[in-house]
Structure 1
Amino acid sequence: MGSAVAQTGQSEGDGADAPDDIVVTATKRSEALIDVPAAVTSLNADKLMAAGFTSFKDFAALVPGLQINNNLGGGVPVIRGLTQGADIGGPTTGIVVDGAPFGISSAYSNGAQDSLDLDPIDLERVEVLRGPQGTIFGANTLGGLISYTLRKPSLDGLEASARGEISDTKFGEMGGSIRASVSGGLAPGRAGLRVSGYWERQGGYIDNDLTGESNVNSSKRYGVSASLLLKPSDRLTILAAAFQQHVNIDGRDVVAYNVGLDPTPRNGQFRYNEYVVPSYKRRTSAGLLTVDYEFDWATFTSLTSYQRVKSFQVLNGTRGSLARTVSQTLPLFGGPAFPTPVILSLDFPATNQRTTQEFRLTSPNGGRFEWMVGVFHNDEKNRLLTNVNGVTPDLSPIPSLAPTLFFDLPTDLKEYSAFANGTYSLTDKLDLTLGVRVGTIKQGFRQRFGGSAAAAYNLLLTSVLQALPTPADTGRVASKESFETYLATLTYEFSPFATMYARYATGFRPGGPNLVVNGLPRSFEADETRNYEIGFKSNFPGGWGSAELIGYYLDWRNIQVTASAQGLSGYANGGRARNMGFEGSLILKPAAGLDIATTLAYADATIREARAGVAARGDRLPYTPRWSGSLSVTYTQPLAGDWEGLVNGVARFVGDRHGALAGSTSTADFLLDGYTMLDARIGVRKGNVELGLFVRNLTDRRAELSAYTRQGFPWVTIARPRTIGMSLGYSF
């Protein structure tokens, strides 16, 4: 309960005249949000949790320029349109936790299908940085960055909180969640410990008439975390944190659609009538160690992170060209015969392990010249196994067909880089910031191929297609590339309440060795973005609101694209795109207890130079609506005695979007309709106890969120129908 979730520089207090209240770490130093010369939205974790927003899929609509592509894996954020739409390749949006990068840099091992999504019980805030962030945060920040700041343990006293929720979904089943945390000092002022955990179940609402199962798309998320904060002296701070989270999605929120002129559900509303239902599981284990030592002239920071992710994804391969090739063609070349009905599952077990180390020196805030220098090392080991399996209607593997074909891709990546940036006050009102990052990335790749139909597959290649066979084992293939990224910003401060900036920044995504297939290049290069941006930020005097307006021109060059040869997909470079638009937000506190927050974004994101078969000039970039926005209104009013009441409503609008590049010959496009969704909440609070009633998707819209078309027909992700529930929270 409280003011708006999304903050662009406004005070969190009731009428406090304090433009510096919102502090962020978007530039790896603590700064007032209004002073950061970049497009940054700060989200308060407590308010996210109170509003029922427990995932970046929930709060995306509150951030201008942020969309979510959740058609594969666990979902991936897309900032300013930087995506091909099929989640192929490395990620274009970075994820960091307390400044340490998390996720996979490599193009392989489902790098762009799994984005770390932390629960708000573990967080102090979430910051979304729009525009390339390659100079400060390195690779895979072409479009921007999501930065999680962990909640720190208390050094004094005892703090605890618990929150429970129960809900019911129209056409579906019950769901619920529980979250709890406890934090306290072990030695007053010197040591503190925090432990938290959460469990959440979302009931299903999609049925399968073919198998007779109901609510096949239920899911569970749960996790635990612990952190230890030590202050041996006033100059030295040590924070050790560890967390583990599990995601079990029994079935995706997808419905099979018709193609052509009648893009409607082919089996009826909320039906997925296939034997193989797409599912997904992921376990993430991570640790983080931050050591800060304050010298008189600078702060030294050592930042160490470790992560291990194991995921298992199942997709339906029964339809489309793959099933026809494997089940009908390969038996003609000596491959195994398939029983009727032909049912194929595509299994993707993946293991990702990453260790990073950063050392940096940061000057104190407030001087005429502020600077930061650092070095960074990244070490990744990844493995992705793709199995094409023949299964029975009860999904039991057929021994002779499991796997029919397999591709085993172990990869490794090492990065060594150094970075520096400085801000010099040319006058009392005008600042110049310059930054650079240079480094080297080395990658290793190995491809293994086999399965019961491998010999028949190679015979088809050599005898009919006159192509080279796919090798059983390529041995290790290596690549090396150097990179540079740059940053230049001019900032003018009109007053303590208003600033304007002009920013130029670049970002990149690593290239690497390619699949060893005749017709594909042996390696592919990095792609990069160049961003030109002008922004204005203002906190209104008296603490009654804030405003932000940003215009940008984003140039995406040498785009990494999927290329096909011999029936397999690999990578190539080609094409160029640009996205130009504006993002605005306005937050008002016109009266005591009343908070109004609104956002609006316009994006014209299109292909400017095309590669044949991948896109056509003028294609809109996927998952990028021309118009999107949100409106949130919260009213808090004292009631009888010590009770306080709250009413909140949130409206989110997203325009139509393409699910793929319209000119692609390998991935069919699907135009997703625009939608407006409404959420509402009422609640009461007395002291440390809070009780709320809520309804999500109030008007019960059948919003089309994403589309996956690589298996012969569109699988469209449909928004959860109207969900009504109750929450209860307690803290002390």
Structure 2
Amino acid sequence: MKAVTGTTLLAGIAWIALATSAHAADAPTTQPQINEPEIIVTANRRNEVVQSVGGEVTALSGADLDRMHASTFNDFATQVPGLSFQSYNPTSNLIAIRGVASSTAELGGAVSLYLDDVPIGASTQFGLGSQSFNFNLFDMERVEVLNGPQGTLYGANALGGAIKYVTARPKLGELSAKVELDGSATDHAGLNGAARVALNIPVGQTLAIRLDGNVEHDTGWGHDPARGLNHLGSADVVGGRLSVLYQPDDKLEIRLSAFAQRSKANGVDVGFYDLTTSRPVAGAYDQSYLIDQPATSSVAVLSGTISYDFGFAKAVSVTSWQKNHGYYQSDDSVFYGILVPIYTAAFTQYFGSGNVPASPYDLLVDTNTTKFTQEVRLQSASNHQLEWVGGFYYDHEYTGELVDLLYTASGTGNMPAPYNSYPFYGWLPSHYSEVAGFGDVTGYLGDIFDLTVGVRYSHQNQTYASNLWWLGFGPTYQNESFVYGTVYPYSSTSSQGVWTYLINPRLHVTKDVMLYGRVSSGFRPGGPNFVLPASFNSPVPSTFDPDKLWNYEIGEKGSFFNHRLTFDIDGYDIEWKGIQTTENVNGINQLVNAGNGRVQGVEANFALRVAGGLSLTGAGAHTVAKLTTTAPVLGIGYTGARLPLSPRWNFSVGAAYRFAIGQAKAVASITDTWTGDRTSGYAGSATNVLYSLPSYNTVNASLGVTLPSGVELSAYVRNLFDSKGQLSAVTLNNAFGPSFPVPVTMTQPLTGGITLRYNWGGH
């Protein structure tokens, strides 16, 4: 029955695309009469118009981001079809594309994150690879969201897709500056502010330097009435980039870049909600924790890109070094306030050790990852006959992760005598190395048909050590007495290899209408596992496998009515095998393969330029993501369980109107975004408890005026009707009972602001 459903879905999309193309054949194919540049993307590692890419790509230009007043990922994510996320805190997110997420507690990333050509973040679960860094969007040339697996060109972790942040390049021979001041106020919270500056400096005719920096403050909207705290979830961001471009001739180009950003957060933007009703326990933004929950996330990246054009092909080398640091404290008093007394009560009975009462417990996670990557590729010129790209990729990472559970009733974090130790202590060093070779070849049959085939082989080696102490291990007998706090050491290695593939035919029905198919695969690395002492008889194996998926997709991209209308639609069927997730065994998360899943969906978007300066846009997606097997480690003994996080429906529609006020140019815009219901956890699971996130709607509006002098003044409103949207939820505590409140991350409340920009110089 499922196969029939998938076939029917894809056949329906094909019929729509063919019908649309038939009408397109009669449409004129002259150049557009409205002067708006086409967006060029590098999804396939070469410059292409976004409408030529044989797959779903959302490209947001720097101008688009400015009009949206988007300063971070959360500001544009809901307007991208098939994209959903969970906010861990204001510094990082778990991102899902096309429903590829197994739980809100997964540790490995399923979406690759790139800054220009540099992969950002840890590749492994031990480096918390699922926590995607929130880049500030100032001075970005564009953001590209690539839906579907990108395993051949983007490698590990690109199961659901990839997100590329493309920074503004230095410009030769141009002296220019951009200054931006932003101030806003958030209802139920306070004031926000930002100062940003970018400077482009030419040095002769062959060298240019680009500098930019930003300082941001975002107020939090969480309230803790019991402790008299407000502005919880506030964040302070400091960042900057230095980029140097040397281009002595048309063949050689060298670009050196340095980037650093640090985000510090005070608590989380959550309210406490009832598990069964999905309604707030008190106020919509009220929470009640026993301890503070600060978080810090930082990234520093050094990179160098050298390209040389030989004529028949271009050689590109990308070298990078980065350091990722994450420091998070979370209040786990409920979960461990139940577990710890259970263990100590047992030890009192058997060893006379004494009870430890329920008390605040602070889970501290401090992760540092250093990562070196080297990619070398050779790509042919764009001749529309036979085009190819082939290359080599190397990655080496070291992660040191410290995980401590602190008993905060004491000043030291230790439990009282005779324990005299933390309830949990873990030092988890690991090494990851990857060597990969990849290649894509595209053959053209005139201007009518072309076919791309690609392959990548990736081999990963990992070493992992865990030095653990956990109260649940119990005491050891030393010198005729029982002793607590003995560290349990363990080490393991793994060596795994994975092939990924791409088949991508494109049929050009007319110059402006294209049909395409796409068969692609992706993977997330497996590796060595946490292993408990032998006395626990843990069912978890010493290694876990890569999870892999295949994506089958067909779609249409077209421009109509003299390029005034663009319309894209595609449908896909994803088969996901060996889904990675975490299983909590006696209070310790371990890495496992839970089962198989299937995701089917449709994505579409349009842009219509109406006469008189009016333009309309829209994007939407329908996603059905389910498990196709049982998953005992998730507490699921039936098939068809809905995968968490992704809405079945989401869409965004917008309008922009451009007009003149004397010599000034003005644009007014409004966007309405609707996000359907989602889930956290699974129906019927006692360990991954279900919470239903209701659908919500937000409306954003702005009005900007640009003077001939280059000064731009704009006013904007986010969440115009103050919708109290629920973004994500964590139900860890509800494994002990439905009466515990669920912390739910909330959308930004009604916010109004003013942005002042000044652009000086340039062409």
CA contact (8 A) 1:255 1:716 kept: yes
RMSD (CA atoms): 2.3
CA contact (8 A) 2:272 2:282 kept: yes
Shift of 1:59: 0.7
Letter in 1 for 2:394: H
Q: Does 1:521 align with 2:536?
A: no
Shift of 1:17: 6.9
| Gap change, CA 1:689 and 1:378, over 3 Å in 2 | same
Distance 1:520 1:682 in 2: 57
Residue of structure 2 equivalent to 1:126: 143
| Gap change, CA 1:402 and 1:285, over 3 Å in 2 | farther
Q: What does residue range 259-274 of structure 1 map to in structure 2 within 5 Å?
A: 259-260=275-276, 262-274=277-289
Distance 1:621 1:433 in 2: 32
Q: Does 1:279 align with 2:294?
A: yes
CA contact (8 A) 2:93 2:134 kept: no
Q: What does residue range 329-728 of structure 1 map to in structure 2 within 5 Å?
A: 329-330=343-344, 332-333=346-347, 342-392=359-409, 397=413, 403-450=422-469, 453=471, 456=474, 472-517=487-532, 518-614=538-634, 615=636, 616-639=638-661, 641-687=662-708, 688-712=710-734, 713=740, 714-728=742-756
Q: Does 1:101 align with 2:101?
A: no
Task: Give the 3-state SS of the residue equivalent to 1:120 in structure 2.
Answer: coil
Letter in 1 for 2:155: G
Q: Does 1:44 align with 2:72?
A: no
Shift of 1:441: 0.4
CA contact (8 A) 1:330 1:457 kept: no
Shift of 1:331: 5.5
Which of 709-718 and 363-372 deviates more? Answer: 709-718
Residue of structure 2 equivalent to 1:465: none
Distance 1:70 1:602 in 2: 22
Letter in 1 for 2:718: R
CA contact (8 A) 2:594 2:633 kept: no
CA contact (8 A) 1:210 1:275 kept: no
CA contact (8 A) 1:519 1:565 kept: no
Q: Does 1:289 align with 2:289?
A: no
Q: TM-score, normalised by structure 2?
A: 0.88
Shift of 1:572: 1.7
Q: What does residue range 297-308 of structure 1 map to in structure 2 within 5 Å?
A: 297-308=312-323
Letter in 1 for 2:641: D
CA contact (8 A) 2:272 2:285 kept: no
Residue of structure 1 equivalent to 2:250: 234
Deviations 1:65-121 (CA, angstroms, capped at 9, x unpaired): 0111114561122100111232423100011122221111112122212x1332222
Letter in 2 for 1:385: L
Distance 2:561 2:152 in 1: 34
Task: Give the 3-state SS of the residue equivalent to 1:75 in structure 2.
Answer: strand
Residue of structure 2 equivalent to 1:462: none
Distance 1:110 1:457 in 2: 30
| Gap change, CA 1:455 and 1:94, over 3 Å in 2 | closer
| Gap change, CA 1:546 and 1:483, over 3 Å in 2 | same
Identity of aligned residues (%): 29
Shift of 1:515: 0.7
Deviations 1:264-318 (CA, angstroms, capped at 9, x unpaired): 2223332112122433211111111100000021100001111101111111111
CA contact (8 A) 2:715 2:754 kept: yes
| Gap change, CA 1:677 and 1:731, over 3 Å in 2 | same
| Gap change, CA 1:336 and 1:705, over 3 Å in 2 | farther
Residue of structure 1 equivalent to 2:337: 323
Distance 1:474 1:340 in 2: 28
Letter in 1 for 2:305: T
Deviations 1:17-76 (CA, angstroms, capped at 9, x unpaired): 799832110000111212211111111123213321112211112211011111456112
Distance 1:496 1:613 in 2: 52
Residue of structure 2 equivalent to 1:252: 268
Shift of 1:341: 6.5
| Gap change, CA 1:516 and 1:341, over 3 Å in 2 | closer
Distance 1:238 1:584 in 2: 38
Distance 1:18 1:311 in 2: 44
Deviations 1:504-534 (CA, angstroms, capped at 9, x unpaired): 0000001001111232111110010100000
Shift of 1:552: 0.5
| Gap change, CA 1:664 and 1:399, over 3 Å in 2 | closer
Q: Does 1:145 align with 2:159?
A: no
Deviations 1:487-511 (CA, angstroms, capped at 9, x unpaired): 0011011222111101100000010
Task: Give the 3-state SS of the residue equivalent to 2:306 in structure 1.
Answer: strand
Task: Give the 3-state SS of the residue equivalent to 1:215 in structure 2.
Answer: strand
Letter in 2 for 1:646: V
CA contact (8 A) 1:437 1:484 kept: yes
Letter in 2 for 1:622: P
Letter in 2 for 1:561: T
Shift of 1:145: 0.5
Shift of 1:423: 0.3
Which of 492-501 and 671-680 deviates more? Answer: 492-501
CA contact (8 A) 2:596 2:629 kept: yes
CA contact (8 A) 1:327 1:342 kept: no
Residue of structure 2 equivalent to 1:84: 102
CA contact (8 A) 1:369 1:422 kept: yes
Letter in 2 for 1:562: T
Letter in 2 for 1:283: S
Residue of structure 1 equivalent to 2:15: none
Task: Give the 3-state SS of the residue equivalent to 2:375 in structure 1.
Answer: strand
CA contact (8 A) 1:20 1:32 kept: no
| Gap change, CA 1:33 and 1:455, over 3 Å in 2 | closer
Shift of 1:328: 4.7
**Which sections of structure 1, spanning at least 5 residues, go unmatched?**
1-12, 460-468
Task: Give the 3-state SS of the residue equivalent to 2:639 in structure 1.
Answer: coil
Distance 2:589 2:465 in 1: 16
Which of 373-382 and 532-541 deviates more? Answer: 532-541
In the comparison of the two structures, how many residue pairs are matched?
Answer: 704
Letter in 2 for 1:199: V
Deviations 1:106-148 (CA, angstroms, capped at 9, x unpaired): 12122212x1332222421110000000011100000100012
Distance 1:623 1:501 in 2: 29
Shift of 1:476: 2.9
Deviations 1:553-582 (CA, angstroms, capped at 9, x unpaired): 111111112223333221222311111110
Task: Give the 3-state SS of the residue equivalent to 2:628 in structure 1.
Answer: strand
Distance 1:187 1:124 in 2: 24
Task: Give the 3-state SS of the residue equivalent to 1:720 in structure 2.
Answer: coil
Letter in 2 for 1:644: K
CA contact (8 A) 2:141 2:167 kept: yes
Shift of 1:544: 1.4
Letter in 2 for 1:441: Q
Letter in 2 for 1:728: L
CA contact (8 A) 1:267 1:273 kept: no
Task: Give the 3-state SS of the residue equivalent to 1:623 in structure 2.
Answer: coil
Shift of 1:432: 1.1
Residue of structure 1 equivalent to 2:86: 69
